[in-house]
A and B are shown apart, each in its own frame.
Chain A
Amino acid sequence: MSTVVRIDPTLCRGHAICALFFPGGVELDAWGFGRVVEPRPVARRTVRRALRAAAACPNGAVVVYDDRDGVGASGATPIGTL
């Protein structure tokens, strides 16, 4: 299994909160919308940060899921625990 971190661009409204919780893993583009720079984190610590960013995003735009089945993507329970 491999963990995937993505930002759903249809939900992101550029609050930039993800960048606070996942420094180095998310950057903001020219308009302030989040971009994931580490979409496949391996280190547990990084995954934990991604999950924090997912919990913190006011729009639920940060999704963390298992790439085999997509479980954890928007709507479903994110994989792992904080």
Chain B
Amino acid sequence: MIDLPELRVPPAVVGATTGGVATGTASAGAATGTADGEVRIGGLGEPGTVLLSGPGPGSGSESLAGHRARWGDLPGATGADVDDLLEASALDGRGGGGFPLARKVAAARDAGTAPVLVVNASESEPASGKDRALCVHRPHLVLDGAALAARALGAGAAAVHLHRGDAGPASALARAVEERRAAGVADPRWVLSHGPGRYVSGESSAVAAYLHDGDARPRFTAVPLAVRGPSGRPTVVTNAETVAHLAVVCRIGPAAWAGLGAAASPGTRLATVTGAVPEPGRVLELGGPPTVGEVLVATGVPAPPAAVLVGGYAGTWIDGAEAWQTPFERSALACLAASPGCGLVGVLPHGACGLTETSRLVRWLAGESAGQCGTCVAGLPRLADGLEALAGGRFHRRGLRRVEALGASLLGSGACGHPDAVVRLVRSTLDVFADDVVRHLAGAPCRGADHPPVLAVPAPFLPTAGPRPPEDFT
């Protein structure tokens, strides 16, 4: 059995109308976690939240004193305790892959000495804001989690990897590290790393590589990073939200934490809502879990939209009415070939064209390739050409078959999963917008083609003109 430290439950959770974790001690907390928890949806500082509980968005970065008042001191759990807690909670990665943290930690510990811990807070997904929100507003929760993960791993240092173009999280974390140093918190040595903010630079092997040699491009790996990273040492790269959950698990206990979610997807989850919503970029914490419809109602979308893009810009489209009924949770989304990914929910309104939106996304994603794998460099711009031709109504059946063949040849072609993710996005597009595809094939682009862009894409990093095709799609 694990000895858990005395718990001081955050006031926002204690006695909150949603119930859940309202108990004084961690061991007793297990009893109150309802198996399939009540639905909780809340933004920063709103009732029912856990990671986001505490002061609201206006109050800036939370101080160590404020954090301790709600959460108590950094738990004294030993590495072995944290390990057991990780195992018992089945905490899954929240950066996109959803890989259980316990397995990464175990692999690294078995693999040898001097493991490296990297907390990835670079949030390279352009529309996602959850890691930023955590680092800016709850830096001590992230650092507590990182310190506990370092203990489980037996690492003397922990790196927090940030996006160098974004000063907010960097200054909040730097300040938090100073506060902890002054207060003498039993922390690992902190390394704050500031990497490039490009899309594929946030991929775990690129992050590990950046810390090793400063080149933030994905690497070809024969064995998992947790077994052997670019430096030759076992390297665990985990997301900022994941370790923040670990900080909560170590305080309220794995059962109470798991009870905040469903049996198949324990705990709460952060999500960012974007697209045709009143407040794009709003970060919400979801427990229960709610359906996509409930999440959208909470963000001011009263009725099912045309479609929803889940998991990220290289995510999966789901038909609006279908998504409305679907819990925003791994196993339910998996039935629709989707995944919560980084927690992005992008809303496509009625009257906008999913094919046009996707062609813009694919063009941007093609330019975000790290430019190292031939098929990715040559093939993704061709895929974007194909989507643009389709969206513009300059397309025949043969072109559609070529897009499908192109997709098949891109699958598994890269050192990282980027081409595969883009192909999955395209496949879900052709599936969800099948009626539109038929109309576009008939040479009649829909009314939505003139709709202003819904999902904003950043300026391209590279010019996206790949090697020109020997024959055109049209």
Contacts and interface: CB of A to CB of B under 8 A. Distances in A.
Given A8-B220, A8-B415, A65-B222, A14 B227 contact: no
Interface in B340-379: 372-376, 378-379
Contacts of B378: 31
A30 interface: yes
Interface string B222-259: 11000110000000000000000000000000000000
B374 A12 contact: yes
Q: For chain A, what secondary structure do more than half of its interface residues adopt (helix, strand, loop), or is it mixed?
A: loop
Contacts of A33: 373-375, 413
Contacts of A31: 374-375, 378-379, 467
Contacts of B40: none
B414 A70 contact: no
Interface string A66-82: 00011011100000000
Contacts of A13: 374
Interface in B409-441: 409, 413-415
Contact of B415 (A9, A32, A73): A9
B413 A10 contact: no
Contacts, number: 57
Contacts of A14: 374
A63 B222 contact: yes
A49 interface: no
A35 B413 contact: yes
Nearest to A11: B220
Most A CB atoms within 10 A — which of B375, B406, B415?
B375
Contacts of A12: 373-374
Contacts of B406: 30
B222 A73 contact: yes
Contacts of B379: 30-31
Q: Which of B227, B413, B467 has the most CB of A within 10 A?
A: B413
Contacts of B414: 9
A5 to B, nearest CB: 11
A70 B374 contact: no
A9 B374 contact: yes
Interface in A6-62: 6, 8-14, 29-33, 35
B228 A9 contact: no
Contacts of B219: 10
A65 B223 CA distance: 10
Contacts of B375: 9, 29, 31, 33
Contacts of B415: 8-10
B193 to A, nearest CB: 22
A38 B375 CA distance: 19
B413 A9 contact: yes
A70 B372 contact: no
B309 to A, nearest CB: 27
- Interface residues of B: mostly helix, strand, loop or mixed? loop
A77 B414 CA distance: 23
Contacts of B220: 6, 8-11, 74
Contacts of B217: 10
Given A29-B413, A33-B413, A70-B227, A9 B372 contact: yes
B174 to A, nearest CB: 33
A13 B374 CA distance: 7
Contacts of A10: 217-220, 372-373, 415
Contacts of A73: 222-223
A4 B372 contact: no
Interface in B178-230: 217-223, 227-228
Contacts of A74: 220, 222
Contact of A30 (B221, B373, B376, B409): B409
A45 B228 CA distance: 30
Interface string B132-161: 000000000000000000000000000000
A10 B203 CA distance: 15
B263 to A, nearest CB: 33
A10 B414 CA distance: 8
A50 to B, nearest CB: 14
A6 B222 contact: yes
Nearest to B378: A31
A9 B414 CA distance: 6
A14 B222 CA distance: 21
A31 B409 CA distance: 10
B152 to A, nearest CB: 23
Nearest to B373: A9
Interface of B: 217-223, 227-228, 372-376, 378-379, 406, 409, 413-415, 467
Given A9-B376, A10-B415, 13 more contacts: A9-B220, A9-B374, A9-B413, A10-B220, A10-B372, A10-B373, A14-B374, A29-B409, A29-B413, A30-B379, A31-B374, A33-B375, A70-B223
11 contacts: A8-B220, A9-B372, A29-B375, A29-B409, A31-B467, A32-B374, A65-B222, A69-B223, A69-B227, A72-B222, A74-B220
Shortest 6 CB-CB distances between A and B: which pairs? A73-B222, A70-B222, A9-B373, A70-B223, A8-B220, A10-B372
